[in-house]
Amino acid sequence: MIQSMTGYGKCVVEYKGKKIHAEVKSLNSKALDITARIAPIYREKEMEMRQIMQQKLERGKVDFVLWIEKEESTVASPINIELVRSYKQQVEQMQQALGLPAPEDWYCTLLRMPDVFTHSDVEELSDEEWTEARRAVEGAVDELVAFRKQEGQALAQKFQEKIDNIAALLASIEPYEKERVEKIRQRIVDALEQNIGVDYDKNRLEQEMIYYIEKLDISEEKQRLTNHLRYFIETMQDGHGQGKKLGFIAQEMGREINTTGSKSNQAEMQNIVVKMKDELEQIKEQVLNVM
């Protein structure tokens, strides 16, 4: 069954006091276009993450985010005790050298010194942590694929409905098509007898009528459109990866519908053609979302 290019997936994995969040969403695109925002510790694995998405997503404009949520106990920056000790020694030396009084509040003085609080932004990625992070990435991508399949089923149902509507409209043309031939013939005969008022060769008239009506005949267009409708459904059932092909078939359907409209030469038939065009436009809009 076909898949949609639109979808969303999320996965959260816990590892040693922090939560690894992976989120991925996609929209329709002619090719695979990945935008990634990755926490610094995992950036060295960006290519591997992109390969996972390339293998499973194939097409679409993909927005991927991998970030970390730390527990409150792990968020606080530690105090650099060795640096504080060095600051205290320097202040005492300055106090003795310049004859200054000792600070009234050592804590306040020392904690205001530069770099007293150690920021451990630079972390090394262990194999164990990467295994968990990779699990989060794969989980989010798998959830996105599942979402795409669900959306694909909804699209397939809508396509089937629209194809059935076009087929029904095409069948409704037939009665008007038969009436049209007699109306065209009678209109020409009336014009010759009433407006021109001359005698005419009825055999020659019949020959000219046959030639004229053949130019307005839509049998071939009807047959080709019927074949395109059937081929669209068959292609849709072949599975995902048929989006571009379905788009080409829809274009061919439009060509036959347009030709039918140009040959209609009757208000009722032209109204039916307009309805078929409306159904086809809805198919074309949704085909853009198909993998």
Predicted confidence (pLDDT) per residue in 207-229, tens digit: 666 666 667 778 889 999 999 99
Q: With 90 as the cut, is the pLDDT of residue 136 above it?
A: yes
Separation CA 243–CA 283 (nearest Å): 12
Asked if residue 183 and residue 238 are part of one domain, the reply reads yes
Under a CB-based contact definition with an 8 Å cutoff, are residues 25 and 144 in contact? Answer: yes
Decide if 118 is inside a domain: no
Do both 156 and 223 map to the same domain? yes
41-55, 202-216, 245-259: range with lowest mean pLDDT: 202-216
Residue 12 shares a structural domain with residue 132: yes
In a shared domain, residues 208 and 267: yes
* Boundary of a domain, candidates 148, 163, 196: 148
Mutual orientation of helices 174-190 and 127-172 as an angle, nearest 10°? 40
Question: In this structure, is residue 2 part of a structural domain?
Answer: no
Residues 21, 25: Cα–Cα separation, whole Å = 14
Report in angstroms the alpha-carbon separations of 206 from 60, 115, 189, 214: 59, 103, 10, 12
Q: Mean pLDDT in the chain?
A: 85
Is 68 part of any domain? yes
User: Does some domain include residue 99?
Assistant: yes
Same domain, 204 and 248: yes
d(CA 13, CA 143): 14
Pair (162, 282) in one structural domain: yes
Domain limits at 176?
Answer: 151-287
Q: Domain for residue 1, yes or no? A: no
Contacts of 207-213 with C-beta under 8 Å, sequence gap 24+, read 209/184, 209/185, 212/184, 213/181, 213/184, 213/185
- In a shared domain, residues 142 and 182: no
Q: Residue 116 domain-assigned?
A: no
Could you give phi then psi for residue 35, rounded to 5 degrees? -110, 120
Domain assignment present for 35: yes
Task: Please check whether residues 161 and 189 belong to one and the same domain.
Answer: yes
How many structural domains does the chain have? 3
pLDDT tier for residue 91 given thresholds of 50, 70 and 90: confident
- The residue among 143 and 104 whose pLDDT is bigger is 143
CA-CA distance, 228 to 220, in Å (whole number)? 12
Same domain, 17 and 51: yes
Q: List all residues 6 or more positions away from 180 whose beta carbon is below 8 Å from its beta carbon.
A: 216, 265, 266, 269
Cβ neighbour number for residue 8 with a 10 Å cutoff: 14
**Average of pLDDT values for 4-30?**
92
Q: What angle do CA 39, 43, 44 make, to 5 degrees?
A: 150
42: CATH:
3.30.230
* Full-model pTM: 0.70
Which residue type, as a one-letter code, is found at position 120? S
Helix axes 219-236, 243-264, angle to 10 degrees: 160
Q: Are residues 44 and 176 in the same domain?
A: no
